[in-house]
Structure 1
């Protein structure tokens, strides 16, 4: 019995001292560790454009974006509800920071694909980093047959491209801000006077109102617009809801297209003249492969 008690006392002191030492080491490491700032934006979209957010590894996102006609179209068009423009897309997170996607828009019967890579995370802790940075690149092909059959454009002529650097900071739990330097390139333009390349700068923000509700805003200034027809800068405001497995956004925008080359370069509506399209973005996520993030 004495041997057992002595052994028990030894074990208590030995493992007790070891546990205290281990706790001290873990506490010291936690003080020296940086951590990523999560949920700068709740979804992968602010309104029309992308946020810096990427999905966790193995997540497949089914995204539906929809825009009706303009609110100033009147009662005969039921204030735009008789007209429908839709985009369907599948977005897959190959890693926590890398996403591939394919989509199809009813606007100009356009097919598009993109790659999105999370380059830097905003960090807090021992080694903070002030912003998150994500790189975005997309290609789109216009398949609408609105041309003379004897003068069909080539496959290359139908292509356009978009490149963006998304830079964002979550200033608090309730406010995030993002800037988006953007370059758009068209292989073929309507008239020779029109630029093939366009530079734009976007600004987006999110204000959180409650645990599951926020207001988003987005604006793109195009520095060199088309010359052959009148275009306007894209302006969007919306309300965002998180409901279980998906994010639902109600959007009011002067842009009919729902991909970068469209809403940045080809917006023909004046927001302040009532050319406002009501619409929504809704995404549903499916866990295809187990993620390592968040463990």
Structure 2
């Protein structure tokens, strides 16, 4: 009986010591760790422009973008639906924070490639971070043959570069905002007085109205413009609809182009005079490699 009592006391003491140690470990983790904020935006695009989001490592995103003609073109053009521009894009997540992409647009027969790298993640907890940040750089080649055959531009002449810093904050489960300082460089421009370098500031928002639907808005203010081309600032409104592996975006915008140099510096339509292009973005994710959680199952 005495031996049995001794064993019982040892078990109780050991259990208390273990519980105390486990509590200490959990408390320490709570103090040192922070929770990464996810879903600042539903996809890699807000509307026309990039969002701070990147896909999970090993995911290949196939993106289809459509922009129809202007709504105020009248019934003969079926309010713009008879005209269509399309962009196909492939974006691959090399890591959870780094993505590479290629695309082709029918408008101006443009090829584009870009890199996006998330450098800061918004976090909550004891060691919180107030916002997320990503770097975006792209190169675009315009291959449309709109030049004099005797003065064919070189490959370098046809290139335009964009650099952006994407700064975003998710304030709560229903509201997010992003600010996007932008620099665009044209290797060549048409007019002698046209600048080669453009500066712009973008702002985008997401307001969630149901579990799978949000209202998005986006505006880019350009600080300078072409000399002879009368341009307008890019404006877009629309809806995000999440459906399983798809993110479907319905868009109303005064911009026809779907690459940064096009919709930020070359938009000519006046949104408030009906120069509105209806369009959509639709994406599909393909998982080309297993996640760490999936690998543990095998």
Using the size of structure 1 for normalisation, the TM-score is: 0.95
1:1-295 residue pairs with structure 2 within 5 A? 7=7, 10-11=10-11, 13-292=13-292
- CA-based RMSD of the aligned residues comes to 1.9
Q: Deviations over 1:223-280 (max 9, x none)?
A: 1111121111000001011100011100000000001000001111110110000000
Distance 1:81 1:5 in 2: 86
Shift of 1:24: 3.0
Distance 1:290 1:115 in 2: 23
Distance 1:91 1:254 in 2: 25
Give the paired residue count.
Answer: 295
Shift of 1:32: 3.1
Distance 2:207 2:6 in 1: 63
Report SS of the residue matched to 1:210: coil
Shift of 1:147: 1.6
Report SS of the residue matched to 1:205: strand
Q: Deviations over 1:188-209 (max 9, x none)?
A: 1111111110000001111010
Shift of 1:9: 6.2
Q: Deviations over 1:123-158 (max 9, x none)?
A: 111111111111000000011112222211011000
Distance 1:31 1:94 in 2: 31
Task: State which drifts further: 252-261 or 141-150.
Answer: 141-150
Q: Deviations over 1:169-191 (max 9, x none)?
A: 11111111111000111111111
Over 3 Å counting, the alpha-carbon distance change for 1:292 and 1:50 in structure 2 is: farther
Gaps of 5+ in 1: none
Gaps of 5+ in 2: none
Report SS of the residue matched to 1:134: strand
Using the size of structure 2 for normalisation, the TM-score is: 0.94
